[in-house]
Homo-oligomer: A and B are copies of this chain.
Amino acid sequence: MTTTSLIQSLSLENKGVISRIISIVENEAAESTLLENAVFKQSGKSYKIGITGPPGAGKSTITNQLTKLFRLQDKSVGIIAVDPTSPFTGGALLGDRVRMSEIGLDDKVYIRSMASRGSMGGLSRKAIVAGDVLDAAGFEYIIFETVGVGQSELDIAKAADTTVVTLVPESGDSIQAMKAGLMEIADIFAFNKSDRPGADAAIASLNSIMQFKVRQADEWKTEIVKTVAQENIGIADLADKIEFHRNFLLRTDKLNQLRMNNYEARTREVVSRKLNSEFWDDRSNDFLHQNLMTLLKKVKSPNELADEIYKKYN
């Protein structure tokens, strides 16, 4: 299929085409840029939700329950599960199989796992573009589910309209969340497994820590929702809070602002890749390799060698 016909056949119903376009983007195939441009221009109608948090906090379960709830409201849901997998595991993960049997057979649900295959480089970028593909296909909600607390997760969270951070009583206290840098990105905390001992104390502690967060007058006040995702408790409340945040963003015109910030960051990232790929040709690479011994012997520092190469080849 040509790029044009792929784009023309892109729709909710056509999961094969969705998968094919995402694979082209994931593998950085030749036609990738054309497809990225086309889906970007057709995107913007979906509402994007990021669900992140430490391992074991129930992100997948919350995603699944939220998806089921959206389906009861007859909304379509696309899910991008970002998973920095090892290159030698390949294939499907256990969690995916459970998930597929629960929600994956629904016509108006699409699930895609994206893994890093050895290098995290570009993973968040590709996940964000995959979100554009689902957006262009017409899904009403897109959920980015990300494991971990690193830079990739923060980047993906920036591409979401509403970011939900899941925590559990076992995370110790909320210091865990602060350490992970999750406080800044959370629009809503879903305090999961909140029927367990220690949950109320942990929530109180999270609440008191949040008092210290400096907020401007027109800024969103982070909400806390108690959930027991396994038993579908608190999920409707979570969906309400997401809707509440969405209305806040629309009312204050912050939705356009945050999307524009995200697009700006994406543009800068493309420029940076172009600058680097133009700079590093055979000559500059050869020069670098010929001079690596000067670094090992501590004759030059990386800063000094970089200066030299930059002046010589720029």
Residues of chain A at the chain B interface (Cβ within 8 Å): 33, 36-37, 40-44, 54-56, 83-89, 93-94, 116, 118, 120-121, 147-154, 170-172, 175-176, 178-181, 183-184, 209, 212-214, 256, 259-260, 263-264, 266-272, 274-276, 278-280, 288-289, 292-293, 295-296, 298-299, 301-307, 309-310, 314
Contacts and interface: CB of A to CB of B under 8 A. Distances in A.
B302 A179 contact: no
A275 B275 CA distance: 6
Nearest to A154: B120
B298 A33 contact: no
7 contacts: A36-B301, A37-B303, A40-B302, A55-B55, A55-B149, A89-B209, A264-B289
A180 B205 CA distance: 28
Contacts of A153: 150
A292 B279 contact: no
Contacts of A259: 296
A212 B295 contact: no
A216 B297 CA distance: 28
A108 B201 CA distance: 40
Contact of A43 (B86, B280, B298): B298
A120 B150 CA distance: 8
Given A148-B148, A264-B292, A181 B306 contact: no
A224 B167 CA distance: 30
A305 B267 contact: yes
